[in-house]
Amino acid sequence: MKTICAISTPLSEGAISLIRMSGDEAIRIADKVFRSFSEKQASHMTGHTCAYGKICDGEKTVDDVLLTVFRSPKSYTGEDTVEISCHGGIFVTKKILEILISSGAEPAAPGEFTKRAFLNGKLSLTQAEAVMDIISSEGERALYSANNMREGAVFKKITKVRESLVSLLGSLAAWVDYPEEDLPDVELTAIEKTVSEALGELKALIKSYDDGIIFKEGVETAIVGSPNVGKSSLMNILLGFDRSIVTDIEGTTRDVIEESARVGDITLRLCDTAGIRETSDTVENLGVNLARKKLEGARLVIAVFDASRVLNEDDKKILDEINPKNTLVVLNKIDLESKITKDSFDRFEVVEISVAEQRGLDELKESVLKVLGADSFSSQENFFASQRQKNCAEKACAYLKNAISAVRMGETLDAVTVMIEEALSYLLELTGEKASEAVVDEVFSRFCVGK
Ligand code: GDP
């Protein structure tokens, strides 16, 4: 396989840059361009050692660097690999890359190092996807989950499910020559039990993915409320800086403003909206329609009410449109005399705050987690690293469900076998053991160059 090279650190000015080269020729190419100060050239270095020296362009010194050698198979990719740590300038880093290319290496495609690691059996496809998750993690929970996955937790779980199905297929093959009516009921019950257990395991993984996704991707959040209840003020507090102009004139927040805020370990993708209410102002009406759309699409709705006045028509309209399943009711302005209480919001999670006095904000954060069902989520649960993995599991589940119905309806064992085989093929695609080249390419194309 050709020898590839790429810059593995972000291309911006910094203290150090790292250039990586992997393949059969990596060490020979390093010998051409690297002069060790200890006279020990790359080809004389053992794996996992580094040398101090310089990269030369002909007779000219380009930079003093630290060069590390990894020898196959004990490297990230499984191939001979050389890593060059140079000074973190954009020009010098690019220059060293150019020298490697002109000495025989080829530029790596996105994710090609990790793809080679996968092809050389260094990690499974699920582990490779977890590597990408570690890079993109925005919080501790997402990071620990990704690490859990990189250590192979999902792969092991899927393998266990797969093994039970494979052994079931073995039994089915043994019974398949029997006439259907001779098959003892106890065997049918056993088939159904094994398939149901496998289905249960997969469903649990899918559920933990759905729960975990909020830590990974953040939560679409709509802040709704009638004018002047304090939506913009709340949003500004959550964001920690002033983004929209807060005024006393009704209907000033005409556009939908989107920003991200961290609440505990979750990123809320917030949008503050023009309140939902009937209005004759066309511009504001546009805002109102947008607000409705956002309300429909949001995973979390924060509905703000002014506790210092009784509910008006606008408030009541909002109450009609929100759903306790995804809505946190916020009673703002408790620094003033309260005219409404939590009791008006039966079935909703309610929190009382004062943005003006910054009271109740910790409780607000806790309530957000409660509404999202995230207060009990454990990062130790294995959740899939990608929608791709989840889709594979869902397809496998669909076939397993069909297999169960087939058993119950007394269909032939051949039919049951075919469905279980289909489910298995999706599990093999999930772990990458039988993923098509197109699937593998798609996964790695989402990596950055140099990874
Ligand atoms: P929006 O129209 O819902 O976005 O409301 P704003 O955030 O623009 O706030 C409307 C008015 O209520 C402003 O004058 C704010 O200063 C005021 N306000 C916001 N929060 C509080 C609060 O907790 N207590 C009091 N007393 N006033 C508040």
Between CA 48 and CA 341 the distance in angstroms is 66
More confident residue, 67 or 182: 67
pLDDT at 341: 86
pLDDT at residue 276 in the model: 44
State the Cα–Cα distance between residues 13 and 16, nearest whole angstrom: 8
Q: Tokens 């917030």 map to which residue?
A: 270
pLDDT in tens, 365-385: 889 988 988 776 655 566 677
**Residue nearest atom 9 in ligand 1 by C-alpha distance:** 230
Is the preceding peptide bond at 73 cis, omega within 30 degrees of 0?
Answer: yes
Q: How far is CA 377 from the centre of its chain?
A: 15
Amino acid 254: pLDDT: 46
Ligand 1 touching residue 356 (CB < 6 A): yes
Please state, for a pLDDT cut of 70, what percent of the chain lies above it.
84
Pocket test for ligand 1, best of 355, 358, 361, 364 (most atoms within 8 A of CB): 355
pLDDT-derived band at 274 (thresholds 50, 70, 90) equals very low
Does the C-beta of 360 come closer than 6 Å to ligand 1? no
- Separation CA 441–CA 451 (nearest Å): 14
Mean pLDDT of all residues in 381-407: 89
Whether 22 shows a pLDDT value over 50: the answer reads yes
pLDDT of 173-210, one tens digit each?
Answer: 877 666 666 666 667 888 999 999 999 999 988 987 87
The mean-pLDDT minimum among 18-27, 207-216, 303-312, 344-353 falls in: 207-216
pLDDT grade for 123, boundaries at 50, 70 and 90: confident
CA of 346 relative to ligand 1 center, distance in Å: 24
Whole-angstrom Cα distance, residue 166 to residue 425? Answer: 11
Ligand 1 contacts CB of residue 422 (under 6 A): no
Q: Which atom of ligand 1 is nearest to the CA of 246?
A: 8
- In whole angstroms, what is the distance from residue 8 CA to residue 10 CA? 7
Average pLDDT over the chain, rounded to whole? Answer: 85
Interval 35-53: pLDDT, tens: 999 878 999 999 999 999 9
pLDDT at 410: 85
Q: Positive or negative CA dihedral for 231, 237, 238, 243?
A: positive
Could you give the CA distance from residue 271 to residue 286 in angstroms, rounded to a whole number? 15
Please determine, for residue 149, whether its predicted confidence score (pLDDT) is greater than 90: no
Average pLDDT over residues 146-159: 79
pLDDT digits (tens, 9 = 90+) for 309-363: 999 998 998 888 889 999 999 999 999 999 998 888 889 999 999 999 999 989 9
pLDDT at 443 over 60: yes
Q: Is the peptide bond before 324 cis (omega within 30 degrees of 0)?
A: no
Q: Which of 66, 107, 62, 108 minimizes the C-alpha distance to 89?
A: 62
Predicted pLDDT at 280: 53
Q: How many Cα atoms are found within 13 Å in the side-chain-facing hemisphere of 125? A: 24
**Of the candidates 40, 91, 90, 102, the residue with the CA atom closest to the CA atom of residue 68:** 40
Report how far apart the first and last C-alpha atoms of the chain are (Å, whole number). 18
**Which of 282, 347, 325, 309 is CA-nearest to residue 225?**
309
Single out the residue of 350, 356, 316 nearest to residue 336, CA to CA: 356
Q: Are 274 and 290 in contact (CB under 8 A)?
A: yes
The CB of 231 under 6 Å from ligand 1? The reply is yes
The mean per-residue pLDDT over the stretch 256-263 comes to: 72
Q: What spacing in Å lies between the alpha carbon of 16 and ligand 1's midpoint?
A: 48
CB distance 334 to ligand 1 below 6 Å: no
280 C-alpha to center of ligand 1: Å?
23
419: which DSSP letter?
Answer: H
Give the span between the Cα atoms of 350 and 363, in whole angstroms. Answer: 10
> Looking at this protein, which amino acid is placed at residue 46?
T
Q: Is the CB of 235 under 6 A from ligand 1?
A: no
Q: Between 163 and 438, where is the model more confident?
A: 163
Tell me what pLDDT residue 82 has.
98
Best mutation site among 223, 231, 233, 359 for ligand 1 pocket (most ligand atoms within 8 Å of CB):
233
- Own/partner contacts of 235-240, CB < 8 Å, gap of 24 or more, are 235/259, 235/261, 235/270, 235/272, 237/355, 237/358, 237/361, 238/263, 238/268, 238/270, 239/270
**pLDDT grade for 290, boundaries at 50, 70 and 90:** low
- What is the percentage of the chain residues whose pLDDT exceeds 90? 48
Are 396 and 205 in contact, with CB atoms under 8 Å apart?
Answer: no
Rounded to two decimals, the pTM is 0.63
For ligand 1, pick from 224, 228, 284 the residue to mutate: most ligand atoms within 8 Å of CB. 228
Look up residue 167 and give its two tokens. 């052994």
Q: Quickly state the pLDDT bin for 285 (edges 50, 70, 90).
A: low
Reply yes or no on whether the pLDDT at 133 is more than 50: yes
The residue contributing the CA closest to ligand 1 atom 6 is 230
Kindly give the distance from the C-alpha atom of residue 234 to the centroid of ligand 1, in angstroms, as a whole number.
8
Reported as a pLDDT band with limits 50, 70 and 90, residue 240 is confident
pLDDT above 60 (res 248): no
Decide if pLDDT at 235 tops 60: yes
**Per-residue pLDDT tens digits for 95-105:** 999 999 999 99
